[in-house]
Amino acid sequence: MIFTDPEMQKLYDQSIQMDVGITDSGQKEIFGLMNLLDHYVYRKKEFNDLFIPVVKPEWRPKSKEYHEIIIKLIDPTRRNNLRKWFADSPKMNPSATGLRDALSDMTGEELNPNY
């Protein structure tokens, strides 16, 4: 996967090389993207309102990095892996649930495996 920002590329490449028990290449991609999202959202506090159970209609990404991560996450070629990611995460905190629901809204597809 290629990113426009060298810092993002380096972080993504490091993420998918981490030994976290994920052997499936598609799930490694999702892990890498989620790690980037963690870095650019939680640590840099780019956007705080996304991770609430109900996504506000006026939601918009606040940075080009954030936008690029979201576009790659919701890419149709990754949807099955994204669904599997959420299915394999049965105990999600409210932030993760909010993210899943927001991504479902953005894609127009239900990503909740229990729906």
Task: Give the whole-angstrom CA distance, residue 101 versus residue 112.
Answer: 8
Listed in order, strand segments (DSSP E) in 10-100 are none
The structural domains of the chain, with segments of one domain joined by +, span 6-107
What φ, ψ does residue 88 adopt, rounded to 5°? -85, 5
pLDDT, tens digit, for every residue of 11-55?
999 999 998 888 999 999 999 999 998 887 766 655 444 444 344
What's the pTM?
A: 0.82
Cβ atoms of residues 84 and 32 within 8 Å: no
- Average pLDDT of 103-112? 89
Diameter of the chain by CA atoms? Answer: 38
Task: Give the whole-angstrom CA distance, residue 73 versus residue 88.
Answer: 16
Task: Give the whole-angstrom CA distance, residue 37 versus residue 62.
Answer: 13
The answer for 16, left when phi > 0, alpha when psi is -120 to 50, beta otherwise, is: alpha
